[in-house]
Structure 1
Amino acid sequence: MGDFTIRVGHAEFEPGAEIAALSGNPAAGAIASFVGLVRNYGDDAHVTALELEHYPGMTEAELGRIVGEARERWPLTAATIIHRVGYLPLGEPIVLVVVASGHRRDAFAACEFLMDYLKTRAPFWKKEYYRDGTSRWVDAKDSDDEAAARWMAQ
């Protein structure tokens, strides 16, 4: 029925190796992926790192529900979601979503759906650290909620 993998933890991951792992299925005609990185953004931002926290068990269960919903919407042959937690310096990979399907449109749509829902429904909390030694917890963004809401109409 396919390989559907969810990993949440501190361990680093290699996006290329994870993508290659899904390439062996002959039913997979397309693979779409997304890698999210710790970034410094805005003209006056001085982000040096992020810290991500989650509720073990609850987070994986919610990611499993999100993958299940994607599988109901698109004919997926495999999917991998990896999300790191803990302290992550600037430039480090945070999240990887890889989706395999028979057709590119299904793979692209499912990948985007998974990332949109991951940003809004998965129980992660993010703290930004700044060059001046301060830090703050980051609130959810309205733009993320709007991105996820468009899938409800489909």
Structure 2
Amino acid sequence: MPMIRVQSEPFSLGDEAEAFAKGRTDTGAVVTFTGIVRDTGGMARMEIEHYPGMTEKAISGIVDQAMDRWSLDDALVIHRYGSLAPGERIMMVATASRHRVAAFEAAEFLMDYLKSRAPFWKKEFGPDGAEWVAAKDEDEDALSRW
């Protein structure tokens, strides 16, 4: 059963990956990806906002698509909100499948969706003040391959 968590609290990559992979005997591949807040030039922090309920529903819909399209055994999406400093973990995707290609492709699909379509709003705080993060063409291009 896929799990989606939208939370303000930090998470342990090791603990999450271990719990996700534990006890799997029919799964041949587990892929994990963790996004980290990147300093874009003196950024002090990033604020991430979302609408509770709406965000989880949107992510759940895309996870269901990935589960069906790649016949996944399981999936996990964790995405944080609130104030995050450079170097902090912002999100994690994990996929489990009988075969590695499906696990990798599904993880990339989910990451591309989270980067370009998931309903999160990001504002960076740096030396020149605060600025909303605009969508990037390369993120849209990445999503178009699916």
Q: Which residue of 2 aligns with 1:129?
A: 125
Query: Residues 4-153 of structure 1: matches in 2 within 5 Å?
Result: 4-23=2-21, 24-41=23-40, 45-130=41-126, 132=127, 134-151=129-146
Shift, 1:133, TM fit? 5.8
Residues 80-119 of structure 1: per-residue CA shift (max 9 Å, x gap): 1000000001110000001111111010000000000111
Q: What per-residue deviation string (whole Å, max 9, x for no partner) do you get for residues 27-69 of structure 1?
A: 211011110111113xxx2112111000110000000000011
TM-score by length of 2: 0.95
Moved over 3 A (4+): none
Shift of residue 16, structure 1, vs aligned partner: 1.2
Distance 1:150 1:77 in 2: 23
Task: Find the aligned partners of 1:133 and 1:147 in 2 and give their Cα distance.
Answer: 30
Letter in 2 for 1:34: F
Q: CA separation in 1, counterparts of 2:113 and 2:102? A: 16
Q: Indicate if the aligned counterparts of 1:66 and 1:118 stay in contact, CA closer than 8 A.
A: no
| Count of residue correspondences | 145
- 3-state SS of paired residue (1:47): coil
Structural RMSD (CA): 1.0
Q: Secondary structure at the match of 2:9?
A: coil
Uncovered stretches (5+) of structure 1, i.e. residues with no partner: none
Identity %: 49
Could you state the TM-score of these two structures normalised by the residue count of structure 1?
A: 0.91
SS at structure 1 position matched to 2:103: helix
